[in-house]
Every structure is written in structure tokens, then in C-alpha cells.
Amino acid sequence: MRFYPPLGARASKETRQRFKQSAHYDKQTRKFVNLIPTSMGMNAKEGTDLLKQYIKGNPRKRPRQPLRLAPLSLHATETKSGEPKVTWFGHSAALLELDGVTLLLDPMLGRAPSPVPLIGGKRYSESMSGVIDSLPAIDAIIMSHDHYDHLDYGSIQRLKGKVGHFIVPLGVGSHFERWGIERERIHEFDWWSEYTFRGLSLACTPARHFSGRSLNDRNATLWCSWVIKGQGASVFFSGDSGYGPHFAEIGKKYGPFDLTMMECGQYNERWAAIHMMPEQTVQAHLDVRGQVLLPIHWAGFTLALHDWTDPVERAIRSANERGVQMCTPRIGQTVRINADFYPISPWWKE
């Protein structure tokens, strides 16, 4: 564990001293905590039932064929036009272009969400190597937390030469330092911290989740959502989160949002405290006062037992019932924010 770089690194003693200034850090357990009680445990019966379901399997847990990417249009001349746009790469990875600033969100563009990618669950879509090569210069990578399906060692190694800054929650910067990124390029934040980056207003906001990359570091780093506001648009990025009152608080303080990128996938009733059901995703979008909902955290990997198309289809039904406008771009398709038209084609049925 000490000598395998993909596992990341524990924060230094000096950094952990800074954690004690956070209201969300338990000094006795030396762990970060959620705003409300959040259990991730299961009793023996629940654990046995879950194991039986995993053994039985689900033939619809992943696509029959690799998902094809939409033609990419990520040239530097286009990304610096100033027009607010977002390009979703499946799961939670996305390129956000706002006021001429290029941000890469949770850029897990690797083969599998595992410290050993050769034995992890394979990505649904075609190889992302071409995506990484096509990306323009990135002003900043913004991270929500350090789980493998969001923070990928291989992706960061290939990206770090074209990235200016790394904007992360408390403790996550230690991973980047181990991976050869200078400390002055890393900016760490606590919940409710605000930051101005190249004219954009950013706020690190709460999420209801957990963190960790190895056997003994659960909740040793913070997890979060992000508010990203510019002149051209206002965007909310949920990261991973169970449903909770923090969404309404964020909406009251920072809403409304032109676009929300909301976690929608890899859920189960047994861990609903840390991952929303699709109907809760729609409610969270309403809570933060969002206008258009782009569901994320699906169409990338199988991390739960549901059908791979279940998240988007359930979210669409709930959105239609509640009068919420949804956006369902293909993987790699660029979406213009505040446009007259948003892509809504059910491409996953093809």
C-alpha cells in the first residue's frame, strides 16, 4: 500500500492539523462527518440478500455492445469562445466551458474504477484515450471526492501536463502531490468556502457521502458538491450524495441554477443514505432551484444491481410528472447552456 501510487497518499501531519479547523471534522475519530447521521452499514440478512443478488447477476447490468461516443468538438478555438457549454463523458466526468474558462469535473477517463484497472469492471463506452488527446488546455480540474470512479490515477497522469490548477475538497490534494503535482497548483476547500477563479465564483458545498481509496482511510478526506457561477451561466455539480436537507440550503444560498449536473445512478435501497434514487435526484434538482437537469453518475460503470438504463428512465418519468426539464446528451456530445433546445433523444434504446 505504501509503494503503490494509485492508492494515493494520506495527508501530512501538518495538513491534518488544518483539518481541525473544520466544523465537519471529528477530532476524536480523525474523520470527516456528514451534516446529518448517515449509516452505510447492513445487518446480516441484508448483507446475505445482497450477496445472493450479486451471485445471481443481472443480464441488463451493462450494455450488450460498447457505447459509441458522439463526435467530439473540443478544439481550443471553440472552447475559448465564451459561450457556456458542457460536454459529458459518461459517469460523472464532464468538461465545463464558462466565460472562456475551461474546467474538467471529476475526470475519471480510465478503463475501470479500480486501483488495479485490469481486474475492475470495464467501462461501458469506447476507449477514452482519444478524448484525453482531444482535450484543450484545462484551466482547472475540479474534484468532488477521491473514490476511484471519480479520481483516477492513470487519467491524472495523462492530463496533468495540460492542467493549470486542481481545485479539491480538504485532504484530496495529498493524492495529487504524491502524483507529481506541485503544491502551489492545488487548492483545497472546506464546505461553504468560496473562491474566485479567473472571474468565476466557486463555492465548495456539502454532499452526503464518504471517501477513501484503501483499507484504512475511510473519511480521511472530505467530499463535496460545487457551485460554479459566471456571467454566462450558473451551474451546480452534485458530486456523489444521498438526499438530504443540504440541497435546499444550497438552493437558498446560491440558486437558481441554469443547469444542474445531478448524481443519478449506482443506487440501492440498502445504501440510499449515500446515493440518491432517481426520484430523489429530481427532487434535489428542485431543491437547489435548477432550471435544466443533466443526470450524471450513470452510463459509465456497473457499481450497483439495477439495469444500466434504469437511472435515466426513472428520472425521466419523475421529471415529466413534476414538470422538470431534462437534458440527456450522448456521451461526448457538447450541450450549450441556456440554449433554446436541449438534447432529449433516448439514445440508450438504440
Instruction: Give the model confidence (pLDDT) of 323-341 as tens digits.
Output: 999 999 999 999 999 999 9
- The predicted pLDDT at position 45 comes to 67
Average pLDDT of the chain to the nearest whole number: 93
Q: How far lies 260's CA from each of 34, 101, 251, in Å?
A: 22, 18, 11
- The predicted pLDDT at position 58 comes to 79
pLDDT higher at 207 or 48: 207
Q: Could you tell me which residues are beta bridge partners of residue 142?
A: 105, 167
Above 90 in pLDDT, residue 40?
no
**End-to-end CA distance of the chain, in Å?**
43
Give the dihedral of Cα atoms 239, 240, 243, 247; nearest 10 deg.
-10
> How many whole angstroms separate alpha carbon 209 and alpha carbon 40?
9
The x, y and z cell numbers of residue 155, run together, are 487519467
Q: pTM, whole model, 2 decimals?
A: 0.95
**Picking from 118-127, 250-259, 266-275, 321-330, which range would have the lowest pLDDT averaged per residue?**
118-127
- The predicted pLDDT at position 77 comes to 41
3-state SS, the chain, equals CCCCHHHCCCCCHHHHHHHCCCCCEECCCCEECCCCCCCCCCCHHHHHHHHHHHHHCCCCCCCCCCECCCCCCCCHHHHCCCCCEEEECCECCEEEEECCEEEEECCCCCCCCCCCHHHCCCCCECCCHHHHHHCCCEEEEECCCCCCCCCCHHHHHHHHHHEEEEEEECCCHHHHHHCCCCHHHEEEECCCEEEEECCEEEEEECCCCCCCCCCCCCCCCCCCEEEEECCCCEEEECCCCCCCCHHHHHHHHHCCEEEEEEECCCCCHHHCCCCCCHHHHHHHHHHCCEEEEEEECECCCCCCCCCCCHHHHHHHHHHHHHCCEECCCCCCCEEECCCCCCCCCCHHHC
**pLDDT, tens digit, for every residue of 260-312?**
999 999 999 999 999 999 999 999 999 999 999 999 999 999 999 999 999 99
Q: Which of 174, 146, 150 is nearest to 19 (CA)?
A: 174
Per this entry, what is the length of the chain?
350
Give the pLDDT band of residue 50 (cuts 50, 70, 90).
low
Give the pLDDT band of residue 345 (cuts 50, 70, 90).
very high
Q: Percent of the chain, pLDDT > 70?
A: 93
Above 80 in pLDDT, residue 47?
no
Q: Pairing relation of β-strands 94-98 and 85-88?
A: antiparallel
**pLDDT, tens digit, for every residue of 174-206?**
999 999 999 999 999 999 999 999 999 999 999
- The predicted pLDDT at position 126 comes to 84
**Picking from 112-116, 166-170, 188-192, 293-297, which range would have the lowest pLDDT averaged per residue?**
112-116
